[in-house]
Amino acid sequence: MSIDIKTVERKGGTPQERVYLVEVFKGMAVTFGHFIRNFLDNSKLYVRHYPEVEPEITARWRGRHRLTRHEDGTVKCVACFMCQTNCPAKCIMIEAGERNDGRTEKLPVRFDIDLLECIYCGFCVEACPMDAIRMDTGIYALTGTERDSFVIGLNELLQSESPFTDEEYKKGSK
């Protein structure tokens, strides 16, 4: 395997560029064009006025977590601790209990996620063998006045719904 040598063309050697001032004025003309366009009519700015206009979120966007359910409404999670073991931020805390509905042997009686610790890497979603935890709620703005309010439990995780259908989630976009 030979190493490819690519000679990069050095720019800035022409007399006009070496004088520098001409190029300075060219650059200033460009920036002034932008300035005056936006100054006279600020509707042309390339910005989203955030609190009024919310960003469009795709199904792949990793937002706050949720726990999925079977068709009959029971928890999919089997409390296998895969997500907790895999979590690099160690923000998941699961307590397993006995399951009596005949689907599996265990179910979580406690499933806490500390959102202040969470780094939204999505490893828990990858690790889950049951597709029980997902990050497709589309919630990206989490605010609170106390630290405790950022620790969400089983109920909250189960109650949140995804704005996306299953097909969209699998495809990754709308």
Cβ-contact 84, 113 below 8 angstroms: no
Kind of pairing between the strands at 92-98 and 151-152: unpaired
Distance CA 149, CA 52 (A): 25
Within 10-29, the residues that bind another protein by CB under 8 A are 21, 24, 27-28
Q: Scanning the structure block, which residue is given the tokens 């979603």?
A: 125
**Is 141 one of the binding residues for another protein (CB under 8 A)?**
no
The CA distance from 79 to 153, in Å, is 14
Work out whether 35 is an interface residue with another protein (CB under 8 A). yes
Residue 172's contacts (CB-CB under 8 Å, 6 or more residues apart) are 58, 59, 60
The reply to whether 46 sits near another protein by the rule CB under 8 A is yes
Residue 49 near another protein by CB under 8 A: yes
C-beta of 32: minimal distance to another protein in Å?
Answer: 7
**34 in contact with another protein (CB under 8 A):** yes
Please give the size of the binding site for another protein, defined by CB under 8 A. 22
Name which of 162, 156, 165, 94 is nearest 124 in CA terms: 94
Closest to another protein by CB, 39 vs 98, is: 39
Binders in 153-172 for another protein, by CB under 8 A: none
Binding site for another protein (CB under 8 A): 21, 24, 27-28, 30-32, 34-35, 38-47, 49, 52-53
